[in-house]
Structure 1
Amino acid sequence: MNDSAQLLLAHGSRDPDWRRPFEWIAADLRAAHPERSIVLCYLEMWHPRLPEAVRTAHAQGARSFRITPLFWSRGRHLRDDVPRIVQDLLCELPGCAIVIDPPVGESGIVRAAVLHLLA
Structure 2
Amino acid sequence: MSAPVLLVIAHGSRDPRHGATVHALTARVRSLRPGLRVETGFLDFNAPSVPRVLERLAAQDAGDTVDVVALPLLLTRAFHAKSDIPTVLHEARTRLPRLRIRQAEVLGPSPLLNAALERRLREAGVRPGDRASTGLVLASAGSTDPEAIAVIAEIARELRHTGWCAVRPAFASATSPAGFPRTEDAVRALRAEGVRRVAVAPYVVAPGRLPDRIAAGAAGADVLADVLGPAQELASLLLHRYDEARAPAARAAAPVGHVAGFARTGTLSA
2:9 maps to amino acid: L
Contact 1:12/1:43 (CA < 8 Å) preserved in 2? yes
1:111 CA displacement: 2.8
Equivalent runs, 1:2-81 vs 2, <5 Å: 4-61=4-61, 63-81=66-84
Structure 1 moving runs of 4+ over 3 Å:
115-119
C-alpha RMSD over aligned residues: 2.0
Unaligned runs of 5+ in 2: 122-130, 132-270
In structure 1, distance between residues paired with 2:119 and 2:27: 24
Q: Does the CA contact (< 8 Å) of 1:105 and 1:111 recur in 2?
A: no
Percent identity (aligned):
25
1:101 to 104, 113, 119: 104
Change (3 A) 1:59 1:4: farther
Aligned to 1:112: 115
- Tell me, yes or no, if the aligned pair for 1:3 and 1:63 is still in contact at 8 Å: no
Query: What is the Cα deviation at residue 115 of structure 1?
Result: 4.5
Q: How far off its partner does 1:28 sit? A: 1.2
The secondary structure found in structure 1 opposite 2:6 is strand
Q: Does the C-alpha gap of structure 1 residues 89 and 3 become closer, same or farther in structure 2, counting only changes over 3 Å?
A: farther
Residue 64 of structure 1 and its aligned partner are, at CA, apart by: 0.7
Question: 2:9–2:72: 8 Å Cα contact kept in structure 1?
Answer: yes
State the TM-score, normalizing by the size of structure 2: 0.40
Query: In the TM superposition, what whole-angstrom CA distance separates every residue of 1:27-62 from its partner, at most 9, and x where no partner exists?
Result: 111222231110111111111111111111222236
- Give the AA of the match of 1:17: R
Separation in 2 of the partners of 1:32 and 1:112?
17
C-alpha distance 66-97 of structure 1, shift in aligned 2 (>3 A): same
Partner Cα distance (2:94, 2:18) in 1: 33
**Structure 1 residues 58-115: Cα deviation after superposition (integer angstroms, max 9, x where no partner):** 2223611111111111111110111111111111111421111111133332133324
For 1:31 and 1:3, locate their aligned partners in 2 and report how far apart those are by CA, in whole Å. Answer: 16
| Count, aligned residues | 118
Structure 1 or 2, whichever has the larger Rg, is: 2
3-state DSSP class of the match of 1:106? coil
Aligned residue for 2:108, secondary structure, equals: helix
TM-score (norm 1): 0.85
